[in-house]
């Protein structure tokens, strides 16, 4: 893989990390200072994770400028690998079958984001008259 691929993947993962930390902080504040139900927090967490991975995949696809599905899949796969490593090494838990649909949805969201991210255009150049 060349340098452009790593750069696009790095941008996508950086966006995911920044957005995940920000949303986690906001959800923690909501949980602490409101009487919101934990079932609602779980639903919000899932929705935010899908949107964040979509955004990360779109960023990677936009940076890659071609083969957006590949950049989205690689971004989602790298995130999946980080989640599995954290769960296994940090929490000492294996991957359960109940988690597979959620993780597949997140990777799929990044893949779709990568496909659409290729078509995001930068600011148009000044038109010549």
Residue range 2-37, pLDDT digits in tens: 888 888 889 999 999 999 999 999 988 988 898 888
pLDDT for 124: 61
Residues of the chain with pLDDT under 50: 129
Q: Are 32 and 69 in contact (CB under 8 A)?
A: no
Task: Give the pLDDT confidence score for residue 2 in this predicted structure.
Answer: 84
Query: In this predicted structure, what is the pLDDT of residue 119?
Result: 85
Q: How far is residue 102's CA from residue 69's CA, in Å, rounded to a whole number?
A: 19
């Amino acid at each position: 893989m060349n340098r452009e691929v790593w750069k696009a993947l790095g941008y996508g993962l950086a966006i995911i990390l920044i957005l995940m930390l920000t949303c986690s902080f906001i959800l923690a504040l909501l949980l602490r200072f409101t009487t919101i139900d934990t079932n609602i927090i779980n639903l919000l967490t899932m929705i935010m994770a899908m949107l964040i991975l979509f955004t990360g995949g779109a960023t990677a696809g936009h940076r890659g400028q071609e083969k957006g599905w590949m950049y989205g899949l690689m971004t989602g796969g790298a995130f999946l690998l980080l989640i599995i490593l954290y769960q296994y090494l940090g929490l000492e838990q294996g991957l359960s079958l109940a988690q597979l649909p959620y993780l597949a949805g997140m990777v799929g969201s990044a893949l779709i984001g990568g496909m659409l991210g290729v078509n995001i255009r930068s600011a148009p150049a000044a038109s010549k008259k």
